[in-house]
Amino acid sequence: DMALSSILTEAEIAAGLQSCQADDSFDYKTFFVKVGLNSKSKDQVVEVFGILDQDRSGFIEEEELKLFLKNFSASARTLTDAETKAFLAAGDSDGDGKIGVDGKTALIK
């Protein structure tokens, strides 16, 4: 079972979650910088994608994005609808309403 803790340190995860505690304060760019994901290798990014893609569909759907922060900490909040939609729009390169692994890599880099 892959875990984000094998890629990110507790401090990195805490910093990311700290940056978006209030509703509608989540900004994926800030978050990825805080958790250090933008400095990870492409393989690690793909691994993170696999963890977020909970149903193993090869895509991250809106429902999975909503629970995005919970992958980092069980006690984290769910994203608001506005946050989820903004996040989805940023990574959905072909407009199919979900993020494929290419979109994910583009988001993080």
Report pLDDT digits (tens) over 27-79: 999 999 999 988 889 898 888 888 889 899 999 999 999 999 999 999 999 99
The answer to whether 92 is annotated as binding is yes
What confidence score (pLDDT) does residue 70 get?
94
CA 95 to CA 98: how far, in whole Å? 8
Question: Contact 105/66 with Cβ under 8 angstroms?
Answer: no
* CA distance from start to end of the chain: 25
Q: How confident is the model at residue 2 (pLDDT cuts 50, 70, 90)?
A: low
CA 66 to CA 28: how far, in whole Å? 12
The answer to whether 59 is annotated as binding is yes
User: 69 in helix, strand or coil?
Assistant: helix
The answer to whether 96 is annotated as binding is yes
Q: Can you give the residue ranges of every domain in the chain?
A: 4-107
pLDDT at residue 87 greater than cutoff 60: yes
The answer to whether 43 is annotated as binding is no
The answer to whether 57 is annotated as binding is yes
Distant-in-sequence, close-in-space partners of 94: CB < 8 Å, separation ≥ 6: 100, 103
pLDDT at residue 1 greater than cutoff 80: no
Is CATH 1.10.238.10 what the domain over 4-107 is classified as, yes or no? Answer: yes
The answer to whether 55 is annotated as binding is yes
